[in-house]
Structure 1
Amino acid sequence: MLNARDRRDWPPEEGAAAGLQGFTVDKTFFSSLKGILLETELVFGIILASVFSYDAFKIYWTEMAPRATQGDQQ
């Protein structure tokens, strides 16, 4: 006889619904304190990455990019 333990060891069912089985969204999590902190951390991380990228571009532009010297301009 098959019982619940044997059924757990079977491979997951195939299909679109089986692929989404582990990706349900707990809507109460996002309204909890931990969810709000996670959202804030993600936004802060995006802003921080953007600032670092901009700063790296500006450093590259001022230090590494070829510039015209005064002799080349004449």
Structure 2
Amino acid sequence: MFSAWNLRDQPPEERAAADLQGFAVDKTFLSSLKGILLETELVFGIILVSVFAYDAFKIYQNELVTRASQGDQQ
């Protein structure tokens, strides 16, 4: 509670810097081997999720089209 009061008494530019303090980017970590592996894993995960979502959409769309055409024939 007191930390919120302390932030309120600070100038606006210091308040903004204090709010974003936990989201700072550590450039030395990102350029290290672990950081590069983490970035690669993240990109690979995004690609994998995109492929799964596209495949699921195509299967779902295909099932709807075949069921709709079967319903028209009956």
TM-score (norm 2): 0.68
Q: Distance in 2 between matches of 1:37 and 1:18?
A: 30
Query: Given the superposition, is the C-alpha separation of residues 71 and 20 from structure 1 closer, same or farther in structure 2, using an over 3 Å criterion?
Result: closer
**Structure 1: gaps of 5 or more residues:** 1-9
Q: 2:69 maps to which residue?
A: 68
State how 1:24-35 maps to structure 2 within 5 Å.
Answer: 24-35=24-35
Q: How big is the shift at 1:37?
A: 0.5
Larger Rg: 1
Count of aligned pairs between the two proteins: 63
TM-score (norm 1): 0.68
User: Identity, % of aligned pairs?
Assistant: 65
Q: 2:19 maps to which residue?
A: 19
- Taking only aligned residues, the RMSD between alpha carbons, in angstroms, comes to 2.2
Q: Which has the higher helix share?
A: 2
Higher relative contact order (CA 8 A, sep 6+): 2
